[in-house]
Structure 1
């Protein structure tokens, strides 16, 4: 327990006042841009959207996974400015972008800054993720122990094995069909055709999704996210800053944001669904709903982490959009797209839009979604 004299601080409201991003592109191609150029475009767009100069930013949190130390400083110095502010580098795997946003928000929420910048970028290599430091402990070795004990390990990409096996566990436990996962890939690629920032903007038939190149088990390549180059940025501000700069008409409040890491249940038993993060996603959602006073029925637009089609279906249930085991029914009802209860991943999601790790958690959604919905949304990205 805290000491008797300790009092919970009064938390300040936090507003998004500017956003910017690059188009996500295939890595390793001719004329691909380096990360400082990507960061410059996203950062400048966010500041222009906010209509404030970089000199008004008091701290910056910069996320990336694949890069040398202080790449965040290099990304900002010669593209946005040299003002001497703290620049904090963030590396947290697939949740890197959202973690940078989490930190930038807390600085304002706690009264330590009036305006912050959350910037995320990634310049990746083609193909599946590979181990960069084989001479030391692999960070997810304990997760792998759970997986190998239950499923073994094959030469296929490890991430695809994990999430494909989680989907297979769902099928065996609840009767979910391969078509349910394929329909998610079909839906997300269909959504992407309206998003100019998406890496892929092509619509496929359900049969094309299901018969595309196999990656692991039922997962085909059109149900797996690609590696990507790209950047995204968000300018955050306090209520006082919003008033000072006359930004009331564009300020959007972040009602609630939670970050949850693994709990004992991840490593107990032999569930791959829990191992890939189901329980921490469920707990993060519970906290958000409880603290905001909102629930799934109050939400219209959802951007969630669909690294594989199976993870999107699992996340439906973790977010409380339907009871456990009924994600397939939600898909069949069309409650994950326009005309249903929610529009989920209107951007095309990771499956179509791409997955530059450091930028993913800050990516903007369909530029016109507010015209198509009531504008209330939830965004969720978890580490993997």
Structure 2
């Protein structure tokens, strides 16, 4: 048995560069309080909490929430790499859908440091060892490039070689991200850039330049999810429902297909999106707005195809035709995405959730996409996990 799960409140703090950030516990508390205020709910009515972060000691989730209140509820700490925030949301939704709880909180935060991502524990087997072996079998190792850029740069190069995609197309995606972020007060990078500036920025790996890569970012976001009965009893806004949600992990094709796109999670996204579309009885042609995991401009492009927004091999035309932005077929990352809003790993999935809830409520201001009733979220973690969530606006 499964029942409807509504997103009654969302909140986040403005994302910042690491040198400008406050502590994770303060960011987590502020985002949680913002979500509770948005819902119009007392924290004492929350029955469980799932708190996501990647870089932090155990029980950091409790430390952040203890600033909100000491109510004795279960607090579960979640770490699923870059898909951590949406993994916390996945667990919170499951708790409500199953009837285990009526009202649950999902929170994500990250206090990052400057520089590229690295491996935290060097005295044990890396969880990326299989991925590195698959990568090194397909492309020359590059010790000068950041870890993640080697993977996603390689995936972009794979698309170029298979389908003739031009490097400038990735630059166009980065330009679009800044254009969207200009209207988002929560985004780190709101200054506009040109295609020429993106291409001229320092080379990173493969087709990637620095302006095609998401920055290290600090921030937090949160969501309150509840049952329809709970929302009705407490007078909460029940106008946004989680229509369907799926989480997938890697299959043999990640490592056996000899395809860098698959090494970075293409098949996980295909599978998760397919499960969501089937469960909801809709197709990608029904979606008007998407927040997807653009950790690199190359990943945004291949994700268009993984989510079925455009057929495999046609993503370049999708970009050149303007179908990925306002006035096109589907607005992707109206928030500015990870490229411009920022990517505090544990917070990203819940920041995506917040943006899509605002879009469905019609409260996104100058970022508002007209006439949307369905919104799709894609959050990916190398190593790996992919969470795809479909939200729907319903009669309150």
Q: TM-score range by the shorter chain?
A: over 0.9
Aligned match of 2:293 in 305, 317, 330?
A: 305
Q: CA deviation at 1:351?
A: 0.3
Q: CA deviation at 1:80?
A: 1.1
Q: Distance in 2 between matches of 1:164 and 1:202?
A: 24
Q: Distance in 2 between matches of 1:52 and 1:28?
A: 33
Partner of 1:149: 137
Partner of 1:38: 27
Q: CA deviation at 1:222?
A: 1.0
CA contact (8 A) 1:28 1:124 kept: no
TM-score of the two chains, using structure 1 as the length reference? 0.95
Please list, as runs of the form range in 1=range in 2, the aligned pairs for 1:175-194 lying within 5 A after superposition: 175-194=164-183
Partner of 1:161: 150
Partner of 1:382: 380
| Deviation by residue 1:295-347 (Cα, 9 ceiling, x = unmatched) | 11111000000000000000000001111111101001100000000000000
SS of residue in 2 equivalent to 1:215:
strand
Aligned match of 2:193 in 178, 197, 204?
A: 204
Partner of 2:8: 17
Q: Distance in 1 between matches of 2:209 and 2:44?
A: 47
Aligned match of 1:221 in 210, 221, 225?
A: 210
How many pairs align? 371
CA contact (8 A) 1:13 1:109 kept: yes
Q: Distance in 2 between matches of 1:128 and 1:150?
A: 22
Q: Distance in 2 between matches of 1:332 and 1:237?
A: 41
| Deviation by residue 1:169-204 (Cα, 9 ceiling, x = unmatched) | 111111111011111001011100000000111111
Partner of 2:233: 244
CA contact (8 A) 1:61 1:87 kept: yes
Q: Distance in 1 between matches of 2:259 and 2:292?
A: 22
Provide structure 1 residue ranges, at least 5 long, that are not aligned to the other structure. Answer: 1-9
Q: Distance in 1 between matches of 2:14 and 2:267?
A: 32
CA contact (8 A) 2:55 2:110 kept: yes
Q: CA deviation at 1:220?
A: 1.0
SS of residue in 2 equivalent to 1:254:
strand
1:260 aligns with 2:251: no
1:277 aligns with 2:265: yes
84-93 or 213-222, which deviates more:
213-222
Q: Distance in 1 between matches of 2:33 and 2:183?
A: 24
1:343 aligns with 2:331: yes
TM-score of the two chains, using structure 2 as the length reference? 0.92
CA contact (8 A) 2:153 2:205 kept: yes
1:27 aligns with 2:27: no
Partner of 2:388: none
Please list, as runs of the form range in 1=range in 2, the aligned pairs for 1:22-101 lying within 5 A after superposition: 22-29=13-20, 32-77=21-66, 79-101=67-89
Partner of 1:4: none
CA contact (8 A) 1:301 1:373 kept: no
CA contact (8 A) 1:281 1:318 kept: yes
1:316 aligns with 2:304: yes
Q: 1:373 to 1:198 in 2, by over 3 A?
A: farther
Q: Distance in 2 between matches of 1:258 and 1:131?
A: 27
Q: Distance in 2 between matches of 1:127 and 1:210?
A: 21
1:114 aligns with 2:102: yes
| Deviation by residue 1:241-283 (Cα, 9 ceiling, x = unmatched) | 0110122x45310001100000110010321111111011001
CA contact (8 A) 2:331 2:369 kept: no
Partner of 1:139: 127
Q: CA deviation at 1:376?
A: 2.2
Partner of 2:343: 355
Q: CA deviation at 1:292?
A: 0.2
Partner of 1:123: 111
| Deviation by residue 1:226-255 (Cα, 9 ceiling, x = unmatched) | 0111000000010110110122x4531000
SS of residue in 2 equivalent to 1:259:
strand
SS of residue in 1 equivalent to 2:149:
helix
